[in-house]
Chain A
Amino acid sequence: MRPRERAAWQTIDSGQLLLIATAGLFVIVAITQVAAVRLVQPDIAIIFGVLIALGELFRMVMPGNREVAPIASAGAIGYAMLVGVGPENAPPHAPLGVEAATHSPLQVVAVTAAGMVVGSLPHIAVGRSPRPDAMARRLFTVAVVALCFRPLVSLHLPWQLLLLLMGVVVVLSCCTDVVIAAMIRAEAVRVRFGIALRDEVDAKMALCAATSATAMLIAVATTAMGEAALLIFTVPILVTQFAFRRYAGIRATYLQTVRALSRVTEVGGYVEAGHSHRVSKLAVSMGRELGMSEEELLELEYAALMHDIGQLSLGDPIPGGATVLASPAEQRRIAELGAEVIKQTGVLDRVAHIVQLSSHPYRTGHEAAAPGGEADALVPRPVPPPLAGRIIKVANAYDDLVGDSADRDRGVAVLERLRLDSAAEYDPTVVEALSRVVDRRTRL
């Protein structure tokens, strides 16, 4: 995903607005209620509030522009599941031998919200606008845990049962998190809910598991050993956060590198300026329209960015750089050369495969086989190109013919031409996806 050009609050959809409004209302109710009955066990509340604020301060963006704050989430959920506050002032014969934690679910929400706001202030101070939808989502996951778990605390259950309940509740919170995130995403990038949900599960599962385990750890340790334990038992999540931040950073750099280096063909005068970038954006929109998962979309983006890299091996640039106007044999040669380059990396084999087949026509019958002694004319039936390859073929043709012109009529005419060629050269469903994407773009 490209970093958003507009400020976060300008891109809020109606669903997000509803989410944020509900969360805001909830927070107001919680704070009013807490203000009315006073903060229960204020020292514990403050320690957890500080932890949440620090966690928000070090929140990070995971691949796919997902904002997460594992430390803050673990701290807040841990606070929501806190059973006691250590053995120090425990009355004799207290259950579990510890002083009970008596804060209400609304206090959990209030403390979490306060921590989030305080932790966001430095971000605002340096000019990073906060993402209210992500914050609302995090608040809801905590609220779910608090509302489910707090009432159970007064039942004085034994440890084993408590741990079991904690496990159930954190799984529930993970589900809430994933479902809300998927709903926001489905609306924001216009994909079907099922696909968004699957992507969210894939992207979040590991981090959710780590956060949940640490939340339980914090709750159990603080209950058993008092607030001093809180400090050392956040260590595992610190390590996790470090690891994921590193991973996210490298992923982002990788994409940046491929994006930047895909421009060598432009600088070399092989293709029009901005061609690779436009094709990749178009291809990703079409892929999303056709229900591809995030992982497939990433491969599609890489392939789209590098689909012309094979031209580097040509002596002279194709006139105008438009491969759509070159002969089929030449198109194939460029694709083969490009795939060869990409295979050199040793890690992008699937991308190479997509690029290699992106020049093949949709119908791979004999009428479409390359004329004149091509080596693969011997192959009885070539493999039908993968969806990603078909998408790139269409996106490339569209961009070659339209360029960066914003002329609507030209776009419509080109679409019409692609439609006429579909069924033989282009996949009709892919062309229809393109037409929807283009249509939406011109309406905006």
Chain B
Amino acid sequence: MRGLPPAAWAYVCGVAALAAGLIGTSSFARLDWTKLAVLALLFLICDSAPARLNVERARVSLSFAASLASVVLLGPAGAALLGLCALVTGQRFFAPVKRIFNGAQFALSGYIAGTVFELLGGHEFRRGEARWVEHVTGPFLGALVTFVLVNLSLMAGVLLLSRQAAPRELLHESGQLAIGCLGYGMVGLLIAGLWPRVGPLAAVLVLLPLFIARWALEQAHAQQQAHAATLAALCQAVETKDFYTRGHSERVSRGSVMIAQEIGMRADRVEAIRYAGMLHDVGKLGVPTKVLQKNGPMTEEEFAAIQLHPMRGLEIVREIGFLDEALAGIMHHHEKMNGRGYPMGLAGDEIPEFARVISVADAFDSMTSTRSYRPARSVEAAVQELRRGMGDHFDPAMVEAFLRALDRDGWEPPDPVVLPDDDVVETTQQDHDDPSAPLKVAGDEARR
């Protein structure tokens, strides 16, 4: 935090001073100190195990529940004091400035939310009295929304002033954060509602299932990672036979995802296409090695073996449940818009969207990689070739999307292939993916 700009310094000092002022001027005469101590302990325990979100820089922890419970149980002054606990939370790497700011902003959020709760009349109902839940829910929601808003905007302020984030990014991320915060905050109401009956045990009963859920989600996350890693490793194993196509699946997967994101696919479909891109050529294993390594024109039978590889791929991955839509993408990734592709000869819109995406990424990577019969082409030349194939071979919309993504994110072509010096190396002499050098099939010249 050494290079903090002056504006950010001023902002942090301002927030800290405001929090200190508010706490200094409020009265703690009617504050229940034991309750505060228990809640503070809860806050610290929860905060030491924050949840993983999709957002990289921020973490949401169940300490939100403790803060919101304190809003109901202790009022503004107590909530502000509880917020100060963030000063000492467990994350060691937090610089002192961050700690002070964190404490101050939690205190401010707590104080303001507590005030809103009182203004809305939440404190007028005695806890444990009939219909408490119904009466208090409204004011509580008000306080909750206030708390989250204040918290997020104070956070956004410091990130903007210290230039760690662009406004657009922040807006995008805070949507997700807000949902997480609101959910955890609601839990505060549960704790506060039960507190008068069973005391701190309320927190245990409410938080235990949530901690277990968190644990389960983490397990799920780990499994997901393991799954992705296993899939990638197995795909690599399929590729090891050919020096020139190593990494092809991985790059096609990356290219497909770029296109999918560019045309605004839903997140789960992007995920599916990531796997589909990875798996699109597993069926190539069913093509005899001697066909792949053949130099010179192929016979009709050999060409038929190549044309069947998408079907072979489908055969292998059909049983993987999550791939439903991706299956079509794998099967049809060699169809052409003019209907001259294989295996089915579909044309235009008959070709599944996934297949049209993969087809572009597949051809592009093939062209920008080294092949035994030619060096790698430059990205510009490959783009030219894609443009030439628009409408005839490729879906123009997909090519456009890919070129836009390419402009923005760039493309890392594979390293030039260095063949080891022994004679066991096997190389393909023709690449079925390469649109600029169609497979040579004997007696086929007339038809083309």
List residues of A whose CB falls within 8 A of some B CB. 86-88, 97, 159, 163, 206-207, 209-211, 213-214, 216-217, 220-221, 224-226, 228-229, 232-233, 235-237, 239-240, 242-244, 246-247, 249-254, 256-261, 263-264, 267-269, 309, 312-313, 315-316, 341-342, 344-348
Contact = CB atoms under 8 A, between A and B. Distances in A.
A267 B285 contact: yes
Nearest to B220: A247
A245 to B, nearest CB: 9
Given A210-B212, A344-B233, A260 B205 contact: no
Contacts of B241: 312-313
Contact of A213 (B189, B208, B232, B317): B208
B295 interface: no
Contact of A348 (B183, B206, B230): B230
Contacts of A267: 282-283, 285-286, 312, 315-316
Contacts of A226: 130-131, 133
17 contacts: A87-B128, A163-B198, A210-B212, A217-B190, A220-B202, A226-B130, A228-B134, A240-B210, A240-B216, A247-B219, A260-B317, A260-B320, A269-B288, A312-B240, A344-B232, A347-B230, A348-B226
A232 B231 CA distance: 41
List the 6 closest pairs (A to B, CB-CB), nearest first.
Answer: A344-B233, A243-B216, A236-B209, A243-B213, A268-B285, A247-B220
B176 interface: no
Decide if the interface of chain A is mainly helix, strand, loop or mixed. Answer: helix
Given A87-B128, A220-B205, A236-B206, A260 B318 contact: yes
Given A220-B205, A250-B223, A264 B190 contact: no
Interface of B: 128-134, 137, 183, 186-187, 189-190, 193-194, 196-198, 201-202, 204-206, 208-210, 212-217, 219-220, 223-227, 229-234, 236-238, 240-241, 282-283, 285-286, 288-289, 312, 315-322, 424, 426
A209 B315 contact: no
Contacts of B130: 86-88, 226
Which of A209, A249, A252, A347 neighbours the largest number of chain B CB atoms within 10 Å of its CB? A347
B212 A209 contact: yes
Given A217-B206, A267-B286, A346-B229, A259 B187 contact: no
A221 B206 CA distance: 11
Contact of B212 (A220, A229, A240, A257): A240
A387 B224 CA distance: 28
B210 A239 contact: yes
A69 to B, nearest CB: 15
A261 B197 contact: no
A109 B320 CA distance: 41
Contacts of B315: 263, 267
Contacts of B132: 225
Contact of A253 (B137, B189, B320): B320
A322 to B, nearest CB: 19
Given A225-B132, A232-B189, A264-B238, A256 B321 contact: yes
Given A224-B194, A240-B213, A341 B322 contact: no
A344 B131 CA distance: 59
Contact of B209 (A225, A237, A253, A347): A237
A216 B201 CA distance: 11
Which of B186, B241, B285 neighbours the largest number of chain A CB atoms within 10 Å of its CB? B285
A216 B316 contact: no
A278 B104 CA distance: 63
Contacts of B321: 252-253, 256
Contact of B198 (A159, A232, A252): A159
B225 A347 contact: yes
Contact of A313 (B205, B234, B240): B240
A347 B232 CA distance: 12
A421 B419 CA distance: 43
A315 B289 contact: yes
Nearest to B216: A243
A345 B216 contact: no
A407 to B, nearest CB: 28
A385 to B, nearest CB: 23
A238 to B, nearest CB: 9
Given A345-B229, A345-B230, A235 B320 contact: no
Given A221-B194, A258-B230, A312 B237 contact: yes
A240 B210 CA distance: 6
Contact of A233 (B129, B190, B204, B238): B190
B213 A242 contact: yes
Contacts of A309: 234, 237
Contacts of A260: 316-320
Which of B208, B321, B424 neighbours the largest number of chain A CB atoms within 10 Å of its CB? B208
Nearest to B229: A345
B317 A312 contact: no
Given A217-B194, A246-B220, 12 more contacts: A87-B130, A159-B198, A213-B209, A224-B128, A235-B186, A235-B187, A236-B190, A237-B209, A240-B212, A312-B241, A313-B240, A344-B232
A341 B233 contact: yes
Contacts of A216: 205
Contact of A257 (B202, B208, B220, B230): B230
A254 B226 contact: yes
Contacts of A342: 233
Nearest to A341: B237
Contacts of B216: 206, 240, 243-244, 246-247
A252 B321 CA distance: 9
Which of B190, B202, B204 neighbours the largest number of chain A CB atoms within 10 Å of its CB? B190
B361 to A, nearest CB: 21
A243 B205 contact: no
Nearest to A348: B230
A129 B130 CA distance: 44
Which of B229, B234, B321, B426 neighbours the largest number of chain A CB atoms within 10 Å of its CB? B234
Contacts of B288: 269
A228 B189 CA distance: 13
Contacts of B232: 344-345
Contacts of A86: 130
B208 A209 contact: yes
A87 B227 CA distance: 52
A261 to B, nearest CB: 5
Contacts of A239: 183, 209-210, 213
Given A236-B210, A250-B224, A315 B424 contact: yes
Contact of B227 (A246, A250, A316): A250
A200 B206 CA distance: 25
Contacts of B131: 88, 226, 228
Contacts of B224: 250
Given A221-B193, A344-B236, A210 B286 contact: no
A232 B185 CA distance: 13
Nearest to B204: A213
A210 B207 CA distance: 9
B227 A257 contact: yes
A261 B227 contact: no
A315 B426 contact: yes
B193 A257 contact: no
A346 B226 CA distance: 8
A370 B133 CA distance: 76
Given A210-B213, A344-B236, A261 B231 contact: yes
A53 to B, nearest CB: 21
